[in-house]
Amino acid sequence: MERLRVGFIGTGRKPERPGPQGFGMSHQHAQGYVDCADQCQIVACADIVPENAQAFARQWEIPATGVYTSAEDMLASERLDLVSIPVWPRLHRPLVLLAADAGVRGVFCEKPMADTWEASRDMAAECERRGVRLAFNHQRRFGRPFRTAKAILESGRIGRLVRVEFGTGNLYDYGSHSFDLSCYFAGEQAARWVIAQIDYRTERVVFGTHNENQAYALWQYPDGVYGVASTGEGADLIGCHNRLIGEEGEIEVGRRGKGMPVLRHRRFDGGGWEVADCGDEGVHGPGYVERAVADVVRALREDRETELCARNALHATELIFASWESSRRRARIDLPLQIDDNPLEAMVASGDLRPQPAARP
């Protein structure tokens, strides 16, 4: 089988020190493709800043003929199988649909899915209609701590799952991973309802999109499993990145505190905490993006769905927007979610929320 031809829409520039908010994600995607060089090859890239595209091409050995400043021109000129789109959320829908319309077989997009619920649904529906495999980079699923936690759960060690919890900075940017992992642990279900409240007093814009300062959310899956999220100043209520509580025990991933193990578990009938060996892997990596890319590539070659598929991403994204909608309506939101917009952005635009401008460097 011939190698997949891969193109990039949006290269950005490679920073000297990649930051926690994902700067340089195009280069992390690219490393994943290079690691799968027997199955795929990066042949083209496009960026509106010519210098960025040229630098990216030099770094990843893309021929000069494969460098573009227009995504439209690249898609029209190159016979691409797979496109990576590591750009800001508000650009995802138009670029995903552009790639799908050009006839690519697969699209690998950064998270969060989009800046509105309508855009998230629309991308997924259009790609499904056209037979395009759409995936989103919730790469932590491939980390040893999370895989091991799921294996411990499935072994029956903590009994039937009762509740999934997470504590983190926000529901949208970082929380996209956390909601996705909650759904992963809960069996890839879409939730039944969510009730939440948020605080947004100081402007916090990440990749062009507002994020709340603090939130508390409660939701339930069809099989009765509950979810709990506490963000911002309230993240310490949970005290770890992810917690799985069963009828007979619990599992913690990324417990906060100096010297704490990345993964531990215990039964309620005694014996104390047991530490699971995760090697050198933490909650952020290393190597998780590369594994995500590898699964997307394999899935496309095998004509199957990747774990990072749009359906799974929608489960997490629905919980984000439904949490904000619950705050907007001051009510429980029964799902599926029946809105199109971004409730947090809408509340800021209407003046219902008036965050103070963030300090500028």
> What per-residue confidence (pLDDT) applies to 13?
77
The two structure tokens encoding residue 167:
């504590």
What are the extents of the domains in the chain? Answer: 4-139+287-306, 141-283+316-350
Q: Which tokens hold the place of 62?
A: 């893309």
Name residues whose C-beta falls within 8 Å of residue 123's C-beta, 6 or more positions apart in sequence.
Answer: 92, 93, 96, 97, 113, 114, 134, 310
Retrieve residue 65's tokens: 């003929």
Say if CB 125 and CB 314 are below 8 A apart: no
Which amino acid does the sequence have at 125? A
Q: What is the mean pLDDT of the chain?
A: 95
Distance in angstroms (rounded) separating the CA atoms of residues 283 and 261: 11
- Distance (Å, whole) CA 200 – CA 92: 25
**Lowest-pLDDT range, 14-28, 50-64, 98-112?**
14-28
- Look at the block and give the residue holding tokens 């039964």: 267
Contacts of 289 (CB under 8 A, 6+ apart): 25, 28, 29, 31, 32, 137, 139
Share of the chain above pLDDT 90, in %: 94
DSSP 3-state of 109: strand
Query: What are 184-208's pLDDT values in tens digits?
Result: 999 999 999 999 999 999 999 999 9
Beta strands in the chain (DSSP E): 4-9, 40-46, 67-68, 82-85, 106-109, 133-136, 161-168, 193-199, 205-206, 209-210, 214-220, 226-231, 240-246, 249-255, 263-267, 274-275, 333-334
> What's the pLDDT at 270?
85
Q: Can you tell me the mean pLDDT for 304-317?
A: 98
pLDDT at residue 360 greater than cutoff 60:
yes
CATH level 2 (architecture), domain 141-283+316-350:
2-Layer Sandwich (3.30)
Q: Residue 358: which pLDDT band, with cuts at 50, 70 and 90?
A: confident
Name the fold adopted by 4-139+287-306: Rossmann fold (3.40.50)
Tell me how far apart the alpha carbons of residues 75 and 329 are, in angstroms, rounded to a whole number.
Answer: 42
**First-to-final CA distance of the chain:** 51
Structure-token pair, residue 307: 């774990």
The residue written with tokens 């099989």 in the block is: 223
Q: How confident is the model over 131-160, as pLDDT tens digits? A: 999 999 999 999 999 999 999 999 999 999
* pLDDT surpassing 60 at residue 289: yes
pLDDT of residue 271: 82
Give the pLDDT band (50/70/90) at residue 24: confident
Task: Band the pLDDT of 20: cuts 50, 70, 90.
Answer: very low
Identify the pLDDT of residue 22. 46
